[in-house]
Copies of this chain bind each other. A is one copy, B any other.
């Protein structure tokens, strides 16, 4: 028996391939799915089964893509009318050599959520592991806010799924969730990516809320963001996404060609580091440092709109392309060849964003200087501690709340480290704010230096 975890960085999405004796099953595949076929072949196996633990909201699921490449069958919960695949019910089992996969219906995160129990029948029929999708994470549980007005119901369902179905599998059972730390699908997920039912039972903070009402109460009070691209994902993952095979990575463009496309409406995504963007950027471009693209691009980019990329190095094009395609952005038609060097050596206009150290921010606050400290972290982070006088607008909601930001004074963007803050700074500049600075280091630097924090 082999089992491998395939991680999609940025999305913090975890998928799995498990198999034996020439057959393999994939759980929650991503869209760029050659990786599963490669693993299978190294194991001398063919992918015959694909399981979706639920209709995903945060990425394009690759079931259809993988099925078309392998001929595998797709299975998912039957409580949702998927336009493809086969519905499965509690207790159904699938055998692949010594691998036995058994369905548990575990609603709560969504109504059709299933978990899949793994046994190694060469040893025992006893559970060995469980694929829990977005029901139970390492250090957290799934969010239950997707059905407005039904939060109590779904939270109760989640409680029962966990306490009545998953924990009873036994302390010795490996836990295989669909997300790791950094996912928008869970706030408190551990940085560690391995755990057992027993370890979670004992140490997952939410699972200490054994009382059903307390659990529901806690869940209902949680605050989660919901980026606009979720809508598209929901459609794609219900009906099947367009095939990826036909997509082409964009060709290089020189400054003239790139600029022409901008004039024709192409939006520009700059995936360089915060420092590089700050040092020189193409006016009108949106900054999202490469590794943040999967988690943040969905807040700002319209999948239907033509997009051009600015990169530090040509090798980033393929990565940005893959990251964007995973969240359904398929219209990338250009990248700026040789990056900013091409731009500046052609005499094109560029701009800079001043960086400012937290020491200076603190001084300004102390001296009551007239400026806006714009904290763009999540509301949960903000509540857990912020600088005095900070204005809070979550980075993902900034474009809709620009009127709250005064235009007559300096705006200093601020976040956990300066990364989300550069996104915010680029949005403000794009929207005509003139005096924008980024606090590189931000809250992390405050913590290291011991700034005065309000709670």
Contacts and interface: CB of A to CB of B under 8 A. Distances in A.
A340 B273 contact: yes
A418 B202 contact: no
Interface in A59-75: 69-71
A273 B312 contact: yes
A246 B245 contact: yes
Interface stretch (A119-127, A216-224, A384-392, A399-407): A119-127
A334 to B, nearest CB: 10
Q: How many A residues are at the interface, by size bracket?
A: 35 or more
A252 B448 contact: no
A440 interface: yes
A42 interface: yes
Contact of A350 (B42, B355, B417, B446): B355
B126 A203 contact: yes
A340 B190 CA distance: 25
Contacts of A128: 192, 195, 199
Contacts of A71: 251
Nearest to A248: B69
A44 B196 contact: no
Copies assembled: 4
Given A314-B42, A357-B350, A445-B347, A340 B275 contact: yes
Given A41-B314, A314-B44, A418 B344 contact: yes
Interface in A240-297: 245-246, 248, 251-254, 272-280
Nearest to A138: B123
A22 B418 CA distance: 21
Given A196-B196, A198-B171, A46 B345 contact: no
A446 B344 CA distance: 10
Interface in A297-337: 312, 314, 317, 337
A235 interface: no
A349 interface: yes
A123 B203 contact: yes
Interface of A: 1-3, 22, 41-42, 44-46, 69-71, 120, 122-124, 126, 128-129, 139, 170-174, 190-199, 201-203, 245-246, 248, 251-254, 272-280, 312, 314, 317, 337-341, 344-350, 352-355, 357-359, 417-419, 440-442, 444-446, 448-449
Q: Which 10 A-B pairs have the closest CB atoms?
A: A172-B198, A279-B279, A275-B279, A278-B279, A345-B444, A347-B445, A344-B441, A276-B276, A347-B449, A347-B448
